[in-house]
Amino acid sequence: MRLGFLFLSSSSSSVVGSSISRSIVRPAPSLLLHRPFHFIPNRTTTNSNHFQFSPRTTLTASASSMASTFKPEQARVPPALQLPSPPITKFKIGLCQLSVTADKERNIIHARAAIEEAAEKGAKLVVLPEIWNSPYSNDSFPIYAEDIDAGPDASPSTAMLSEAARLLKITIVGGSIPERSGDKLYNTCCVFDADGKLNAKHRKIHLFDIDIPGKITFKESQTLTAGETPTVVDTEVGRIGIGICYDIRFQELAMLYAARGELIILLVKFSGDFSCGTCVIRSLLSFHWQEFVDGRSVNGIVPLLSTEPTPSQLSSECCSESPHPCVSCLKASLGTLWADNPCHTQQLVLGNSIYQGAHLICYPGAFNMTTGPLHWELLQRARAVDNQLYVATCAPARDVGGGYVAWGHSTLIGPFGEVLATTEHDEAIIISEIDYSQIDLRRTNLPLEKQRRGDLYQLVDVQRSSSQ
């Protein structure tokens, strides 16, 4: 008999909400991987209609439900597996293209008014521009920087975002502001959930250092420090990857976001009675900090640790002639990573992987008058169509009298590379609809993930590699 069982991906120190849509199912050899990246779960707990539990609650409910409903005649016909989906699969997003002045207090008040207007128009997710509380210049960054971790008094900009998210019951991707942390400055985006809690903090990974003679020269590295961690966050409106401006030029980062957050169906195969199978499942429940990933490359990213034990790793309690490793085999090969389980004769085999990366990547950005006309929309559409997901960008409005003149043109791109909504260079608020079912549709139309040639090209996730 086989029992379907879901494992949700998680960070090393947090639990994961099930902000996930149905997607393509593909084969998965057995590999195990611990993910140290900045994956921030949704901590909201709601009713079971939306599967919005912590993973411990979700998995326990799944096992209990399976145990109580199991009938002997189902031994050869396993029960259908119900997949979790986001609490919202179709919603409105608001992109607030704002004018920015040298008056921080005015900028904060102005941004709040825009957020409130977007929420009044039905937006459940609101995105602000890059560096919306400060002029965009190396001279301004140290002056306007805020210590986000020091609390609301030290960071009035994020205090406003937190309060607005809580009162309006929306998710806010707070553009970016200059952040001070110790003696370093960062270009930082904060994500707040509908309870006003800081759900993620992304520091710009790729600093804007360019030199186009006769056009523009800018070096963020003169004052800012590059972030070290990619950010994927589970929210009330789906799984979101975060990048800031220049980050959009690097397809590898978008590929990580499209791949991270894998859902795996674990099939438990055993020869004993159902109570023994339940014991196996219970042992797996205690193993909630690790996640299983697909054995072939995911968007070209190489899995790094196989759970298939070598002959020397097989324990004496294992049937070494079995085609699949049993619990004791896995424990022997993984050591303390595998939970204790007395049913050593039971056999485990990994089943299918359900492709569940980010649904949406948000890029607050301020492209300039040189690169903007040529590259801004091109890069957005490329990231969306390459990874078959939504891309949302939000820019400051153009100020021709400012020291840095932004291109504007905040935009929402669909998973087929289509421009769903955009604006010109003046202040504007875009309200547009996101429908996650379009992701499934386009990945069915063009099944790129199934067609990738992992035997010819692969992208190594360095953070995963270094953690092994």
DSSP string, 295-340: SS-BTTBPP--B----GGG--TTS-TTSSS-BHHHHHHHHGGGSPP
Residue 24's CB: how many other CB atoms inside 10 A?
Answer: 18
Q: What is the pLDDT of residues 96-112, one digit of tens each?
A: 999 999 999 999 999 99
**Using CA atoms, how far apart are residues 176 and 190, in angstroms rounded to an integer?**
7
pLDDT (average), residues 214-228: 98
Q: Are 16 and 57 in contact (CB under 8 A)?
A: no
**Tokens representing residue 324 in the block:** 């699949």
**Using CA atoms, how far apart are residues 394 and 382, in angstroms rounded to an integer?**
17
**Tokens representing residue 308 in the block:** 């298939």
Of the candidates 41, 461, 71, 18, the one whose C-alpha atom is nearest the C-alpha of residue 256 is 461
**How does residue 128 score in pLDDT terms, banded at 50, 70 and 90?**
very high
Q: What is the pLDDT of residues 226-258, one digit of tens each?
A: 999 999 999 999 999 999 999 999 999 999 999
Instruction: Kindly list the catalytic residues.
Output: 130, 204, 245
434-454 per-residue burial string, b: 16 or more CB within 10 A, e: under 16: bebebbbebbeeeeebeebee
What confidence score (pLDDT) does residue 411 get? 99
Contacts with 13 (C-beta within 8 Å, 6 or more apart), sequence order: none
Q: What is the pLDDT of residues 256-277, one digit of tens each?
A: 999 875 433 333 333 333 333 3
Conformational region of residue 292, where left means phi above 0, alpha means psi within -120 to 50, and beta covers everything else: beta
* pTM (predicted TM-score): 0.68
End-to-end alpha carbon distance in the chain: 34
**Using CA atoms, how far apart are residues 409 and 407, in angstroms rounded to an integer?**
6
**Using CA atoms, how far apart are residues 37 and 35, in angstroms rounded to an integer?**
6
96-109 per-residue burial string, b: 16 or more CB within 10 A, e: under 16: bbbbbeeebeebbe
Of the candidates 302, 363, 356, the one whose C-alpha atom is nearest the C-alpha of residue 10 is 356
**Using CA atoms, how far apart are residues 92 and 429, in angstroms rounded to an integer?**
12
Q: What is the pLDDT of residues 271-309, one digit of tens each?
A: 333 333 333 333 333 332 233 333 333 333 333 333 333
**Using CA atoms, how far apart are residues 370 and 392, in angstroms rounded to an integer?**
21
**Using CA atoms, how far apart are residues 84 and 434, in angstroms rounded to an integer?**
19
User: DSSP secondary structure string, 232-267?
Assistant: EEEETTEEEEE--GGGGG-HHHHHHHHHSS-EEEEE
Contacts with 110 (C-beta within 8 Å, 6 or more apart), sequence order: 98, 99
The amino acid occupying position 294 is: D
**Using CA atoms, how far apart are residues 389 and 254, in angstroms rounded to an integer?**
10
pLDDT (average), residues 338-350: 36
38 forms beta bridges with 231
CATH entry, 90-259+358-435, from 3.40.640.10, 3.40.50.2300, 3.60.110.10, 3.90.650.10: 3.60.110.10
Q: Is pLDDT above 70 for 30?
A: no
443-448, Cβ contacts within 8 angstroms, sequence gap of 24 or more: 443/23, 443/24, 443/355, 443/388, 443/415, 444/24, 445/416, 446/388, 447/24, 448/388
pLDDT (average), residues 169-180: 99
**Using CA atoms, how far apart are residues 145 and 104, in angstroms rounded to an integer?**
11
Of 43-47, 443-447, 463-467, which one has max mean pLDDT? 443-447
Residue extent(s) of CATH 3.60.110.10 domains in the chain: 90-259+358-435
